[in-house]
Structure 1
């Protein structure tokens, strides 16, 4: 920037013109013109500054950040993850710096939002046909199937089970929130059993259908399908696509055959293994978890079922489709990033 200012001045430009051309303040253009005029090339260097000189170079800071982006085990350090103090010790041991404090390391990492002391769980895709199966589901969300758009007689249903919803009866009643006081939920409770909540979401209308069962299985899932398929507009639909994961209630070709025999207009579409995050019903279940189940304080299983059913009715009053933005382009980008971690394992 300083060189461009000087060259523009040599070409006869005014300070105002130089400022506009280099996108700087006019005082900045004037400053570097004067500095070059009085001191020539030496005037374009940084002036001496007050205060303590820098102890570390940019290269050393980058090397410490690189250490933070390695697993400790890769460097022979018996740790599961780094702390700033551990990184400071490792930087000294590796000869990156002679001495450094944990606070300095923390400041460098904060600048790039690197947090090696935190972690999240993930499951690496192991289905060799992950892209193909996931793409079919994303096409359905975009109202496409086999390269053709869906018509008004086609519907897309996302279904699954939310298992083991417990009835925890607190040993003291829950106290409501008040001024400068949070809602208080008793820590101890009596167990009142658990049930499963089976639900189906119409992806493009936003409506939810569901009911509770003592447990999951083929028969409970069949009752959920019947609950949906015996009402309009699904009973007279041309095609109803059911998106499901690979749970035991609806796994494999056998489940596809059962479905088509009982309901000829249905198409069971399986997600890849460990891809429930592509199932939109999971978004609804997360809402149920936050708004209904947490904190868990119910008298008995009947109370749990009544609350879930009432919330489902309440939700459907203002139901609208989720604003789904994840596309096949995003999926391709994800798989390319995952490919940098190694090839996808083949099926056993």
Structure 2
């Protein structure tokens, strides 16, 4: 053993970050260099005699290279590359396409479906998860998206955004002009809580968490964008009549009744869709101007954003 090799082995044997297996192998060789027998080395390092014999012999035959693990073939793979590709392909398909009654895949469901399709006789969910992790495939995650399909999206969106900035057709709105954002929220459940028990000696009031369903209602809201004022009313359902009733509530009060113009920003719902709705509103209230958001862009409506918040 040369001096350089000895110094390297000493650093391995004493290193704080040296892997345990490398430290033991270095200590075996260093003790063997001191002419210690295998049995004494095994007792000192608390390993088997076979372990001492193995690494002592490898170092004698190959030097430092003999202290490195030799390549291992490992257990033969149970699944071929074609089977792996088939499972990944299945994970990249919608479950409905495969005939599965699911909204999205999970690893256990993918494993069961692979067995059902005959991809493999048996496969575990952890194996599927490991295969998908290599390609960063996560079919159990999803994100909603919607592409604006209105051909006049830019023009319509610009008009709405200009109103939020108190502009119309390039001109500033006057102090007697207002912008109302309106929308309907359907199927709001009316819940009636069951009676609570009053407090008494050594007992606090008990509030019952159960409730009775009182049906479903629609809530219609009108939001003054610049005055931060909300008008609302409930109705059994949405429609032209409930919407016009909401407009009546707003437009019959001041300052909207005597305003020069009141802009109503609405989406393209059936209650206020198209040119007929614009004419109907103008006929009932000549100072009211209906402005539609682009199709599939109701998120431009301020009252919708307040509903989400």
State the TM-score, normalizing by the size of structure 2. Answer: 0.53
* 1:158 to partner: Cα distance: 0.8
The answer to whether the 8 Å contact 1:175/1:185 transfers is no
Structure 1: 5+ residue stretches without partners: 1-46, 177-181, 288-348
Give the aligned partner of residue 159 of structure 2: 136
Give the aligned partner of residue 99 of structure 2: 78
Residue 186 of structure 2 corresponds to residue 186 of structure 1 = no
Give the aligned partner of residue 179 of structure 2: 156
Give the aligned partner of residue 207 of structure 1: 229
Deviations 1:19-59 (A, max 9, x none): xxxxxxxxxxxxxxxxxxxxxxxxxxxx9899999x9xxxx
Which SS does the other structure have where 1:284 is aligned?
A: helix
Distance of 1:144 and 1:50 partners within structure 2: 74
> Which is higher, the Rg of structure 1 or of structure 2?
2
Distance of 1:263 and 1:221 partners within structure 2: 14
Distance of 2:276 and 2:69 partners within structure 1: 78
Superposed, 1:261-272 pairs within 5 Å as 261-272=283-294
The answer to whether the 8 Å contact 2:167/2:173 transfers is no
Which SS does the other structure have where 2:139 is aligned?
A: coil
Distance of 1:238 and 1:127 partners within structure 2: 30
Distance 1:253 1:114, change over 3 A: same
Distance of 1:173 and 1:111 partners within structure 2: 56
Structure 2: 5+ residue stretches without partners: 1-67, 78-82, 199-205
Give the aligned partner of residue 265 of structure 2: 243
Give the aligned partner of residue 255 of structure 1: 277
Q: CA RMSD in A?
A: 4.8
* 1:230 to partner: Cα distance: 3.6
Distance of 1:161 and 1:123 partners within structure 2: 20
Superposed, 1:184-333 pairs within 5 Å as 185-186=209-210, 189=212, 191=214, 193-286=215-308
Distance 1:226 1:66, change over 3 A: same
Deviations 1:157-188 (A, max 9, x none): 11122334343334x33689xxxxx975226x
Greater RCO (CA < 8 Å, at least 6 residues apart): 1
Aligned length: 230
Residue 191 of structure 2 corresponds to residue 165 of structure 1 = no
Distance 1:265 1:122, change over 3 A: same
Distance of 1:133 and 1:156 partners within structure 2: 15
Distance 1:155 1:90, change over 3 A: same
